[in-house]
Structure 1
């Protein structure tokens, strides 16, 4: 008997008016579900996709900000998150929200190719209950950072927290600041990269700056310049997949160590030199502002020190 993995997706402001089937296909692909638009259309027709709380939908329905859609993704076997005893640096934890300082190399949630060994597996092992609204493979996940990006990532433990935090992300009121080392001496001290991002038409496993993509905005401030690199602080206005990596590659300053969008010869670091340093949000129930900051990881700090001293050029 076939079972299904349930996932819930929230429509953002920038998605207004888009067809349901096109929008949903892109979001499923972002979650490592190998899916085509025609298959999503079949799911919609068979009732596997519903709007919360209105019910049945059509593939051609235009979506509106704030709408939520539940998807029953067919699976051969029931999915169960297996607890994994992985060390985690939990920097904030209360009844509603848990925030961890993720090390480079750790995946946020289970997905295709990595059913275990993720942050979610580790949280379950610690007895932390997360909201089910994100779906069976993404319980409580309201935003993500890449496997080879380090830093702060938050999870919702209750339905109230999930709705409140996803709404803040949709409205671009969550403060997410990153530290990055990029190739080249940047000519501008500060600026904004406003380029739409979508699937790379030549490689569906990658993202690209493309006219057919969704609006993506990254603000940056150059903190320090070296001979052939720059230390940059980035603030996300939107949160597209691989946004900072794609944006800086598009303007000719790819991230150091980025094996996907970067250069073959780069700095000695495992993964891209990108760290989610600051996270600020309004608490879902107390309405107080929460602002957290993560120290620069040792591998990035060593690179900066060597760049300053001229050991690395």
Structure 2
């Protein structure tokens, strides 16, 4: 059973202390039912008064995976792992989670296999998502409580994309609302009826045909980078949904290569960088 330990710095009720640490009512209810709350190694109720210098231990309930998940072994590239999170590099053309078209061999099932092998008594929870054709960094929390806690922190995500054409503006801001396309349940489009979406980009280099861009997501709409880049006339190379068919490249050349966040337990700044998957010269463009 995983346990989080805290040191009390001022007097308050245990409930107030736990809420202040980002533990939700739902999580607290689950902990009371199947976990434990200890103050100085003794079981306590949430109404108990705690004092400066006390040690609070939150014992998290064990978790069981869904029967729909089938763990499988793959060559998993782990970029970071501790008791609370596992961060991996996702290859292109693998789903984050099972879908109707691809019911198994998803990334979450590979992470579940990894955790089972290490005899973890919890399950992976998807924190960040990438499209099937996008590669790069994906964060998993090792317990529902940690998923909730990291959702309250600021996650900075940076991407690299190879796009059609020469991007003339070195820095740019794309602010265009995105909604579901009227003719498709999958495709998105810039639409006045859509939700606000904001993407920053920086031109890095070009090969006189295509450009390499660095991008930062400031909102998290479905297909946001792909839609925004197509909207400004520079669709991602290999993106047949928003750009052009490419016989040599079967997925969009888009990678989440850098993620930054504050660890909700250790309070350390975590900065994860994945090796660059796509280079202009690496795909025969120079």
- Deviation of 1:110 after TM superposition, in Å, equals 1.3
Pick aligned residue for 1:282 from 246, 262, 282: 262
Unaligned regions of 5+ residues in structure 1, if any?
1-50, 54-77, 133-138
Equivalent residue, structure 2, for 1:111: 99
Distance 1:83 1:249, change over 3 A: same
Q: Could you report, residue by residue, the CA deviation over 1:169-227 in whole angstroms, capped at 9, with x for unpaired residues? A: xxxx2110000001111121111111111111121221111111111111000001221
Pick aligned residue for 1:88 from 76, 89, 113: 76
Checking the alignment, whether the CA contact within 8 Å between 1:130 and 1:158 is kept in structure 2 is no
Map 1:238-277 → 2, pairs under 5 A: 238-264=219-245, 266=246, 268-277=248-257
Equivalent residue, structure 1, for 2:132: 147
Checking the alignment, whether the CA contact within 8 Å between 1:130 and 1:140 is kept in structure 2 is no
Q: Write 1 or 2 for the structure with the bigger share of helix.
A: 1
Give TM-score, length-normalised by structure 1: 0.66
Checking the alignment, whether the CA contact within 8 Å between 1:183 and 1:230 is kept in structure 2 is yes
Distance (whole Å) between structure 2 residues aligned to residue 93 and residue 196 of structure 1: 36
- Deviation of 1:130 after TM superposition, in Å, equals 8.5
- Deviation of 1:269 after TM superposition, in Å, equals 2.3
Give TM-score, length-normalised by structure 2: 0.72
* Pair 1:101 & 2:82 matched: no
- The structure having more radius of gyration, on CA atoms, is 2
Equivalent residue, structure 2, for 1:185: 166
Equivalent residue, structure 1, for 2:279: 301
Equivalent residue, structure 2, for 1:167: 152
Checking the alignment, whether the CA contact within 8 Å between 1:131 and 1:156 is kept in structure 2 is no
- Deviation of 1:97 after TM superposition, in Å, equals 0.7
Distance (whole Å) between structure 2 residues aligned to residue 236 and residue 276 of structure 1: 10
Other structure's SS at 1:203 match: coil
- Report the count of equivalent residues: 221
CA RMSD of aligned residues (A): 2.1
Distance (whole Å) between structure 2 residues aligned to residue 155 and residue 86 of structure 1: 16
Distance (whole Å) between structure 1 residues aligned to residue 80 and residue 26 of structure 2: 30
Distance (whole Å) between structure 2 residues aligned to residue 84 and residue 259 of structure 1: 30
Equivalent residue, structure 2, for 1:7: none
Distance 1:145 1:127, change over 3 A: same
Distance 1:292 1:130, change over 3 A: farther
Distance 1:284 1:131, change over 3 A: farther
